[in-house]
Chains A and B, each alone.
Chain A
Amino acid sequence: MNQENSQRTSNSVLVLGGGIAGIKASYDLAEAGRQVYLLEKKPALGGFLPLLDRQFPTNDCNICYLSPDADKAGGARTVQAMPLTKLVSLEGQAGDFNAKVLTSPRFINVDRCNACGACLAACPQGAISFTPGLDTNSPTCLRYPQATPQAFAIDMSKCDRCGECIKVCAPEAIDLDQKEVEQSLEVGSVVLASGGELWDPAPMEEWYGHGRFPDVLTSLEFEQLMSAAGPTGGKFQRPSDGRHPKRIGWIQCAGSRTTKEGGNSYCSSICCMISMKEAIWAMEHFEKDLEATVFFMDMRPMGKDYELYYQRAKNELGVNFVRCRPHTVDYKEETGDLRMSYVDDHGSLGEVDLDLVVLGVGFCAASDAQEQAAVLGIELGSHHFVKADELAPVSTTRPGVYACGMALGPQDIPGSLTQASAAGCMASADLAAPRALRREDDLPKEKDFSGQDPRIGVFFVDWGRVVQEVVDSKTVEEATAKLDGVVHVERLELSYGQDGLAALEKAIGEHKINRVVVAGYSPRTHGRIFAEAIRKAGLNRAYLEMANIREQDALVHHDDPKAATDKAVTLVRTAVAGVRQAKPTPSLTLPFNPDAVVVGGGVAGMSAALGLAGQGGKVYLVERSRELGGLANQLARTLDGRPVAPELAELVEKVKANPNIEILTDTLVVDHKGQVGSFITGVQTGPGMFYRQINHGVTILATGARRYEPTEYLYGQDPKVMTQLEMEKLLASGEGGDALDTVVMIQCVGSRNDDNPTCGRICCRSAVKNALWIKEQKPDAQVFVLYRDMRMPFTSEDAYRQAREEGVLFVRYSPDAPPRVSKDGDTMEVIFKDHILDRELSVEPSALVLSVPQIAADEDTEELCEIFRLQQGPGGFLLEDHPKVKPVDTPAPGVFAAGSVLAPASLAEARTQGLAAAGRALTMVSQMSLVLDTPVAKVNGDRCAACLICVRTCPYGIPYINADGYSEIDPAQCLGCGVCAAECPAQAIQLPGYEDDRMLSRTEALLEGVL
């Protein structure tokens, strides 16, 4: 982090790479009041994300969920996106870098280009490129390529200056004489988010036939085939002959987990999920009777609850899974089929005919990774990815330079976003103390519409394919235009960055709109964003109503387009009826307390505390036990095999030495109230249960998980039976002795079963770590690992290979026939079936090691959820705000979460999430004041009989009878549940937005035509 002697005067960060990780880091930093230079080598931002049609596990396109964030706080104004730009040199040190950057000419003046595409059609050399991507200055998404006005560029290496494009360009945007521009930027820190590349199957053409047979596609090519903007315009046809494919095979680990020339030895971690997603999407949207088969070695759905997605694909949706080693794809001339041959689980040859083969290809480091590392002065690790450690997972070898996303290794979106927020937090610590922001000051004055008739604008936002293929938008638009009070109906196509929302603001001004209905998204995900947008146009935030056409109509009624269209009309009509009666809600400005409470003193909690300390206010670190360190105290080695204790001790020391952190050990959180910016948390400390209240603005929950206590396999009945953690302790003591002669490990004990359907995520890696350690201490030891799928992401695959080379025997078992353990006197016997030999084997182990998962600390998490008003997800872990795009946010504003309270986590993940939660919290801490405009209950004094019902009803005891003899409710304290309004016998209390007459209007509109 920051160096002691650095200046810390800069407020700027350089972010390299405009993929989703770079964008996230940039917007987090911008929201926290930092200036960001966002460099992208390509002509447009976006990275991989815009190339994907869908993203697991929600099978939605999350661009639209991520993008409006960019606009939300107006933070976008301090992000300067610099496409076609690369870093040439970086001098100086953390806190005070000088970066030279070079911007290549685009040869098209983006201010003039209107993206008509005439140049593209006119160019005889194909030198005009259209890069699907995201541009913060323009709405861009692959599925809406027509809305990519600024992504055209000319490739000069192909151009022969014939001038054809200049002739056809009406707005005279083409300038072939543009020169490259070098600039020098002063920045305090650097975030490297330059991403990776998809593995190119060319070196293995011989095996997979990609390049030889047109119907062999990579996963990304298949994704485009399904995309409405893809080569077939969304028609489901195979490339060779346009045939509608009925049998598709996905080949996993294409080019991954191999020592063959041209392949990668590591596991790319996310391809299993990508293939399953593609199979499910293809079945659900193109071909119900599709024979979708995934050919795999081990299924590795590694993220939180991804195992449930796998089980659903297999057991409910009918995707076939064949465990095998695929080897060759051939083409059969006579039928036009592809024939794939493989060796199955029993070692026999198999063959299958397919219409289409999709290669589940992995990811590699960027081809210029070495060049870039040299410019940055950082070291690369294995396979040319940026070198990082378990306990410094987003730091590079050069202080002040941090990394996130695929630059660190293959990564899914939540992983990339978490690392991005973590890297943002680290980068921010190298800067000067953040400037406090006062957001409301920048907004125009609210217009007064009192006495005016409603002029309602209805905006159909982002009716992409998901909605359009179910709901007939024309019918809905026509019906909407006829509604009373509606003066304007407009479609807004995608709102990435500012432009989508800018169009909304413009329409409000042009058509004198005084009330807005947004039809499309759920108010849960997008209400806030559109409320801010109309506020920017001078409307009070309460003049908005949302019609949830996506989640509550198109997505749930995809099998009945007619009824879904009718329902869309109804939902819009209801929203219009509601907004017609909207009244402005006065906003209330409160000071924002920059202090933070972090609950849980494990690795995640300590990381969060250190991330926040010194960047805002004071941090209270609350730990229930007497010691900091949490579950990590029980670990001897990290998953990459280094000792844990010294690094953990260093982390604990740093926390203890930090003057901005107050450590409260032996302390329990007992209550929590207030809202973001002004929370009050009650804690009890020590045996005397001394109670005190802490005032703070943000909260981070990192209370961890607990280990599953096995009841299986004679655990607790025989000293030979132990958990991996106990084996680790034995190995660390160096006194394993004879116990290490013959070791049998059993995987998935207490996970992936009926009681706990989730995957423990790190138990496979722990088993391999310990197996290697046993071999290190006793090379002639016999070690068996009985497993279901070995889940060894990224370079841990290399450790798995090493273990096999060192003679560790990995034997797969099926959940229907698990290993059997019996005991006769002192002799223990483990019987299991070897699939390749197809017979039962018996081993007498000197130690039987059970791989048990971290499970939700159920009662504690339940209590935590009760206190902080949060929810538990499947398996009892804390439910995050959105599994894909808000992995460390919770639904409660100002409350974040990190570590194994969310899901089983490795040290690196706990550390990253802790920093990420701190990074997310910093986006709020930087605010000097908090504007409250959520609806709060209002009392009409004239009607109040001071009957005290509201006083008794309020869950928080807020109403009181004032000096004038009627009930009064403090707007700063009221949370807006509306219970008092519902109970008030005189109807003297109303909750804005839910007034009785407004609810009645909604009900009437919702049921119009039913009677």
Chain B
Amino acid sequence: MSDFEPVVVVFACDYCAYTAADVAGRMNLSYPTGVRILRVPCTGKVEPLYIMQALQKGADGVMVAGCLVGDCHFKNGNLRAAARVKRVQTMLDDIGIGGERVAMVNVSAGQGAKFAEIATEFSKKIGEMGPNPIKQGAKAAA
């Protein structure tokens, strides 16, 4: 499993995490290439369905990246997102995919270094967990 490079989908809030990812770029930092970012207006827009679809389509992990607690541009969208992530985690544990494949993280717009660090850490963790079991199912079916 040493050459397994996980694919991580990040739903990143435009006001903080998406900007932090831009800042990470401008600071010439790096994180694994498997980290792929989708922009959302607020993590409050991230529906459980989006997370499930990402896993269904083969992502090994999903991060929902919103503003720091108390700093949501839309007051509390990030808290709603956190609650949804928790629900999704329970479901994933129930069906044997593992709730830990999904995480809610919080970074502010200026925290480019923190974004890179979180993305790297999460990717590493997913790497240790191994590929999304759905992939094997899909391969077996094919």
Q: Which residues of A contact B (CB under 8 A)?
A: 58-60, 284, 522-525, 548, 550-552, 554-560, 563-564, 566-567, 570-571, 574, 865-866, 869, 871-874, 879, 891, 935, 953, 955-956, 975-979, 981-983, 991, 993-994, 996, 999-1000, 1002-1004, 1006-1007, 1010-1011
Contact = CB atoms under 8 A, between A and B. Distances in A.
Contacts of B73: 869, 977
Given A60-B26, A524-B18, A567-B33, A1007 B57 contact: yes
A873 B84 CA distance: 29
Contacts of A566: 33
Contacts of B27: 58
Q: Which 3 A-B pairs have the closest CB atoms?
A: A551-B25, A978-B45, A555-B25
Interface string B47-80: 1011001100111000000000011011111001
A978 B41 contact: yes
Contact of B54 (A556, A978, A983, A1003): A1003
Given A556-B31, A955-B77, A1010-B59, A991 B45 contact: yes
Contacts of A567: 33, 36
Contacts of A891: 15, 19, 109
Contacts, number: 149
A551 B22 contact: yes
A8 to B, nearest CB: 41
Given A556-B24, A1002-B38, A871 B33 contact: no
B91 interface: no
Of B25, B110, B135, chain A has the most CB atoms within 10 Å of the CB of B25
Nearest to A994: B45
A348 B26 CA distance: 41
Nearest to A522: B22
Nearest to A280: B28
Given A58-B26, A551-B22, A1006-B36, A1011 B31 contact: no
A58 B27 CA distance: 6
B57 A564 contact: no
Given A60-B26, A552-B21, A982-B47, A991 B41 contact: yes
B108 interface: yes
B18 A979 contact: no
B110 A879 contact: yes
Contacts of B50: 999-1000, 1003
Contact of A955 (B7, B70, B76): B76
Contacts of B57: 1003-1004, 1007, 1010-1011
Given A869-B73, A871-B16, A873-B110, A551 B44 contact: no
Contact of A996 (B22, B49, B84): B49
B42 A977 contact: yes
B44 A558 contact: no
Given A873-B110, A979-B42, A1011-B135, 6 more contacts: A60-B26, A548-B22, A556-B28, A871-B71, A1002-B38, A1006-B36
B109 A979 contact: no
B86 interface: no
B90 interface: no
Given A891-B15, A1011-B135, A1003 B25 contact: no
B39 A523 contact: yes
Contacts of B40: 978, 994
Contact of B38 (A59, A524, A559, A1003): A1003
Contact of B25 (A552, A571, A869): A552
A234 to B, nearest CB: 18
Contact of A59 (B21, B28, B54, B138): B28
Contacts of B110: 871-874, 879
A522 B33 CA distance: 17
Contacts of A550: 25
From A556, A571, A976, residue with most partner B Cβ within 10 Å: A556
18 contacts: A524-B18, A524-B22, A550-B25, A556-B28, A556-B29, A570-B36, A871-B16, A978-B41, A979-B45, A979-B80, A982-B44, A982-B46, A996-B49, A999-B50, A1002-B38, A1003-B54, A1010-B58, A1011-B58
A204 B15 CA distance: 51
A1003 B81 CA distance: 18
A21 B77 CA distance: 40
Contacts of A574: 38
Contact of B71 (A558, A866, A981): A866
Nearest to A1002: B38
Nearest to A565: B33
Contacts of A977: 41-42, 44-45, 73-74, 77
A981 B26 CA distance: 33
B2 to A, nearest CB: 17
A955 B75 CA distance: 6
Nearest to B84: A982
A976 B41 contact: yes
Contact of B74 (A522, A865, A955, A983): A955
Nearest to A312: B27
A1010 B7 contact: yes
A869 B139 CA distance: 47
B37 interface: yes
Contacts of A1004: 57
Interface in B77-119: 77, 80, 84, 108-110, 116
B104 to A, nearest CB: 14
A557 B31 CA distance: 7
B28 to A, nearest CB: 6
A64 to B, nearest CB: 13
Contacts of A559: 30
A1007 B22 contact: no
B108 A872 contact: yes
Contacts of A872: 108, 110
Contacts of A548: 22, 37
B15 to A, nearest CB: 7
A524 B19 contact: yes
B41 A994 contact: yes
B38 A556 contact: no
B76 A879 contact: no
B30 A558 contact: yes
A866 B138 CA distance: 46
Contacts of A556: 21, 24-25, 28-31, 116
A644 B72 CA distance: 41
Contacts of A570: 36
B123 to A, nearest CB: 12
Nearest to B26: A58
A955 B76 CA distance: 7
Contacts of A284: 28
A452 to B, nearest CB: 27
A977 B14 CA distance: 10
Contacts of B28: 59, 284, 555-556, 558
A993 B39 CA distance: 11
B9 interface: yes
B47 A996 contact: yes
Contacts of B22: 522, 524-525, 548, 551-552
Contacts of B139: 1011
Contacts of B49: 996
A381 B108 CA distance: 44
Contacts of B80: 953, 979, 982-983
Nearest to B76: A955
A978 B42 contact: yes
A891 B20 CA distance: 13
Contacts of B14: 524
A616 to B, nearest CB: 27
A1003 B39 CA distance: 11
Nearest to B60: A1010
Given A59-B28, A555-B28, A977-B77, A560 B33 contact: yes
A673 to B, nearest CB: 11
A557 B32 CA distance: 8
A605 B139 CA distance: 64
B88 to A, nearest CB: 13
A567 B31 CA distance: 13
